[in-house]
Structure 1
Amino acid sequence: MQNERMRIAVAGASGLIGSALVRSLTADGHEVVRLVRHAPRGADEVRWDPERGQVDAAGLTGCAAVVNLAGAGVGDRRWTETYKRRIHDSRVHGTAGLAKAVASLDEPPRVFVNGSAMGIYGETGERVVDEDSPAGTGFLPELCVEWEAAAAPAGQAGVRTVFPRTGLVVARGGGAWGKLFPLFRAGLGGRMGDGRQYWSYIALHDEVAAIRYLMDHDELSGPFNLTAPEPLTNREITEAMGRVLRRPTLFPVPAPVLRTVLGEMAGDVLGSARVVPKRLLESGFTFAFPGIEDAVRAA
């Protein structure tokens, strides 16, 4: 698939990763079809309603690949029960609807790339985990298990299905680092909690490159951790941010403050996830920005 010009459908095309992926694909001459919630404004848009699991399957006709990166932002707001339901439904119902649409096509796509997250492993402490490790317990791990399972109709229809389990994306435009960069530039950055928790990160450039790599290699299927080869502690990342941005990192954020401000989501900021991309490395993928300082500079 690497040298072909393809028609590719992308759900979540306006998000941090989705918009970067669309830019990369269109720059290489591919035709990108965006899944949108409003009435389509042209041939490059397809109507869908992820929470209800509804997709205009006809709009996917001719697509060689379908990429699903849609979902309500996990870090966008405090986790009320209502918002947790939205996080769940936007992913699980959206994936189920898209997988069924893919399976219904007379000529289905060659690959279905369905986003997932390293949150599937939950709290791992200092233990290194890879794709063979079991899922954890709690809201995010259980969500990720259900999210990946919802893609089953595509696999049952013979469509190669891939699950990129994404780590913390180092980028200015959104996600965790979108909130960290302004703090560090203002000299207000610091470790979170005791700083000993592992953060498994990935540069946005490598995230997009890895997704495209998974799309292009017909022999690859199943889960792949999209994280840099060597996770670092929050303290190590904080120190690296200070060095690259040339700012002091003197203001640690105590765990009780994070719990007060973030509520249940603070568990993921303070929790430790030491996730490595075993399958991606074994397949031959090469990271452009494997180190944290490289990743921060790239952002």
Structure 2
Amino acid sequence: MNVLITGGTGFIGQAFIKWRQPHGVNFTCITRNPKKAHKLFGGSVRAVTSLMEVDGEKFDAVINLCGEPIADRRWSEKRKQLLRYSRLTMTHALVDWMAMSDNKPGVFISGSAIGYYGTHASDDLLVEASAVRQGFTHSLCADWEEEAMRAADLGVRVCLLRTGVVLGNGGALKKMLPAFRMGLGGPIGHGKQWMSWIHLQDELRAIDFLLRHQTLQGAFNLTAPEASQNRSFAQSLGQALKRPAKLPLPPFVIELMLGDGAELLLEGQRVYPQRLMQAGFEFKYPELDEALADIF
């Protein structure tokens, strides 16, 4: 299988390439930093800097994981524009490239996020058809998905990855660990907000599942079946690290750090992977404690 991938040097993309590449999947990675790609993959993955370099080539699938990290820094207006630009521009370019190609891929798997639903302070269970709350995260993900879905008009099967917080050696956990390892971790604010998470291995397995099941298309929630409230997550992480985790982080600290982006951590949403489950996908790590035990 020949796969064109964006975001291949990121947390999820890098892990997916390293997992599937030894098993007969040939990757071509579009990246701004080919040297980084060569270093990460030991020269076993082809790295290009633009779609012009792959004009006329045949790929079985395109996996689109592009985008600046969503919660790495404070949301200024400039930052919001960058979050949109880094996702929408490449996605638009990929679909335009497919439209001009005589060798269209069989499937286009494109990133999104559970931010599509907006933040929800309630305990409502959100599935793919649930109502959304308007706001920046919804408009960002909705516009991102709309760009990707243009490929369906070309006869390409499109799957959208509404991904939650991915837990693994890196990503979100990497930012949490210093405080928790020092015994300074704990819930954020009141801790009642829901956190929809997924083990990195299940994220990779779900992408591969969608890649290979040719009848599946549309949006899929990539979250574990059992979301966790933030205070329960903090307790489980503390237990996994054998450290106390009782010091709450005041909301104003998160607001100072992330600005409007604080809503991601202070409100959250309780998301359920209904369509994946209906399609027969089986989670290897459906429960948080066993997911954290595996990681650590």
* TM bucket normalised to smaller: over 0.9
Matched positions, count:
287
Contact 2:111 2:161 (8 Å CA) reproduced? yes
TM-score normalised per structure 2? 0.93
Contact 2:224 2:273 (8 Å CA) reproduced? yes
Alpha carbons of 1:60 and 1:288: their partners in 2 closer, same or farther (altered >3 Å)? farther
Q: Matched residues in 2 for 1:60 and 1:265: separation?
A: 41
TM-score normalised per structure 1? 0.92
Corresponding letter in the other structure for 2:29: R
Instruction: Name the residue aligned to 2:234.
Output: 238
1:86 aligns with 2:82: yes
Alpha carbons of 1:81 and 1:161: their partners in 2 closer, same or farther (altered >3 Å)? same
Q: What is the Cα deviation at residue 38 of structure 1?
A: 5.3
Instruction: Name the residue aligned to 1:118.
Output: 114
> SS of the residue aligned with 2:180?
helix
Q: What is the Cα deviation at residue 243 of structure 1?
A: 1.3
Q: Matched residues in 2 for 1:60 and 1:17: separation?
A: 27
> SS of the residue aligned with 1:114?
strand
Corresponding letter in the other structure for 1:120: Y
Instruction: Name the residue aligned to 2:46.
Output: 44
Partner of residue 17 from structure 1, selected from 8, 12, 17: 12
Alpha carbons of 1:262 and 1:287: their partners in 2 closer, same or farther (altered >3 Å)? same
Instruction: Name the residue aligned to 1:96.
Output: 92
Alignment of 1:138-217 (within 5 A): 138-174=135-171, 176-217=172-213
Please list every run of 5 or more consecutive structure 1 residues that lacks an aligned counterpart in the other structure. 1-5, 49-54
Q: Deviations over 1:229-255 (max 9, x none)?
A: 011100111111111111001211011
Contact 1:64 1:110 (8 Å CA) reproduced? yes
Alpha carbons of 1:57 and 1:136: their partners in 2 closer, same or farther (altered >3 Å)? farther
Partner of residue 297 from structure 1, selected from 279, 293, 296: 293
Please list every run of 5 or more consecutive structure 2 residues that lacks an aligned counterpart in the other structure. none
Partner of residue 73 from structure 2, selected from 74, 77, 99: 77
Q: Matched residues in 1 for 2:254 and 2:31: separation?
A: 35
Q: Matched residues in 2 for 1:197 and 1:148: separation?
A: 26
- Which shifted more, 249-258 or 189-198? 249-258
Alpha carbons of 1:79 and 1:63: their partners in 2 closer, same or farther (altered >3 Å)? same
1:251 aligns with 2:251: no
Contact 1:172 1:181 (8 Å CA) reproduced? no
Instruction: Name the residue aligned to 1:287.
Output: 283
For the aligned residue pairs, the C-alpha RMSD in angstroms reads 1.7
Partner of residue 215 from structure 2, selected from 219, 227, 240: 219
Corresponding letter in the other structure for 2:174: G
> SS of the residue aligned with 1:219?
coil
